[in-house]
Amino acid sequence: MNSIPSLPPGQQLAATGKWPIVGERAPAAGDTWRGVEITGLVDSSRHWTFDELAQLPQAHLATDIHCVTRWSKLDVRFSGVWLDDLLRVVGVQAQARFISFLAHSERAHSTSLTLADALAQRTLLALACEGIPLDLSRGGPLRTIVRGKYFYKSLKWLRRIELLSEDRLGFWETHAGYHNQANPWREERFVATSPNRIELGRRLASLDFREANLLNLDLSGRDLSGMRAARGILRNADFRRARLQRADFSGANLSNAKLQDANLSDAIFRDADLEGADFCGADLRGADLRGASLFGATFCSTVPPDERTAAAVALIDVRTQYSAVALETLAPPQAAVLRHGTAT
Ligand SMILES: Nc1nc2c(c(=O)[nH]1)N[C@H]1C(S)=C(S)[C@@H](COP(=O)(O)O)O[C@H]1N2
Ligand SMILES: [Mo]
């Protein structure tokens, strides 16, 4: 057997040749991108056009990509300009501690880093990937690539860089509870906020989670049969061993959900976001997964047999429905479970 490349905990390789588009898929419509400026706590602000950046000596970076939704791609080659070099041109002032990156996008997407984290050739302003100018959907003409962080710290359609004395939390960090450190080796995925207790109590009584927006929900081991959660945003929820027969998760966001050993028979996941969800040992007989996004999802354990606890493979039958296109996005051992079902 070939040696297995080392992945951070809880990550698995994306299927060969597959690279999901995550988050925004296109820059702001209407006015065009006009290059990048560096402002804030600098000696003199400056603006660079694409051509000016392209004429600078191009640096090359081969790095591993780790998405918070649990897929990784190893050794992806980018080229562009080191942030360090541009910061030397503008002159960073002594009070600057943080650096904020702003996108040319509809919702003015942003993210931030400590200045210390951004330097030492950690942050590349990338113009190309694998020798080809960056696709628009990948953040072209210009995106950042930040090595050693989950990929949400790498901003697409970079338009402004601002040096700050206090941190300014980015879009995902503010609205989706993503961890501000984002170190994949320490699994800094989400901040541990607990859901609003009053809202949770009301919803548990009625089992109505439609349109709810609750991060890090812990409903492990509960009887939630028939739960209604269409279009709920329930990132990083813990449903291990829960009874969820006939639950409706149509259009819901269950990214990174823990569904190990849950009873999901006849549950509906139509068009749900199931990226990074873990179904090991779950009962998926009669479940409807059509239209669901399954990048980074797990159906069989990658843990060695002697370290496994409960059932390690999802239970599938002929009534389990899923789309062929979702199969292609799964790592081969995971796709095999869906395709061939499970011997019981
Ligand atoms: N402008 C912008 N940049 C962004 C995002 C976004 O929604 N908008 N999503 C982030 C996330 S969560 C990831 S995983 C990567 C995805 O990059 P890709 O679409 O090239 O895979 O972009 C990051 N940068
Ligand atoms: Mo991500």
Q: What integer pLDDT is reported at residue 344 of this predicted model?
A: 36
Ligand 1 in reach of 76 Cβ (< 6 A): no
Instruction: Record the tokens describing residue 149, joined without a space.
Output: 């962080």
C-alpha of residue 273 to centroid of ligand 2, in Å:
13
Which atom of ligand 1 lies at the shortest distance from residue 109's CA? 1
Instruction: Give me ligand 2 centre to Cα 69, in Å.
Output: 6
Nearest residue by C-alpha to atom 5 in ligand 1: 23
pLDDT for position 306: 65
Q: What atom of ligand 1 comes closest to residue 20's alpha carbon?
A: 21
Among 154, 179, 293, say which to mutate for ligand 1: greatest number of ligand atoms within 8 Å of CB.
Answer: 154
24 lines ligand 1 (CB under 6 A): yes
Testing ligand 1's pocket by substitution, the residue of 11, 19, 24, 256 carrying the most ligand atoms inside 8 A of its CB is: 24
pLDDT of residue 343: 39
Q: Pairing relation of β-strands 59-66 and 46-48?
A: unpaired
Q: What does the angle CA 309 – CA 12 – CA 338 come to, to the nearest 5 degrees?
A: 70
The per-residue b/e assignment along 73-107, b for 16 or more CB within 10 angstroms, e otherwise, is beeeebbbbbbeebbeebebeeebebbbbbbbbee
Q: What is the pLDDT of residue 16?
A: 86
Return the pLDDT at 45: 98
Residue nearest to atom 20 of ligand 1 (CA): 138
Residue 190's pLDDT is: 86
pTM: 0.82
Q: Whose CA is nearest to atom 1 of ligand 1?
A: 156
Measured in Å, residue 50 CA sits from the centre of ligand 1 at 20
Q: What is the 3-state secondary structure (H, E, C) of the chain?
A: CCCCCCCCCCCEECCCCCCCCCCCCCCCCCCCCCCEEEEECECCCEEECHHHHHHCCCEEEEEEEECCCCEEEEEEEEEEEEHHHHHHHHCECCCCCEEEEEECCCCCCEEEEEHHHHCCCCEEEEEEECCEECCHHHCCCCEEEECCCCHHHCCCCEEEEEEECCCCCCHHHHHCCECCCCCHHHCCCECCCCCCHHHHHHHHHHCECCCCECCCCECCCCECCCCECCCCECCCCECCCCECCCCECCCCECCCCECCCCECCCCECCCCECCCCECCCCECCCCEECCCECCCCECECCCCHHHCCCCCECECCCCCEECHHHHHHCCHHHHHHHHHCCCC
pLDDT at 34: 93
Which segments in the chain show pLDDT lower than 70? 1-5, 192-195, 304-311, 342-344
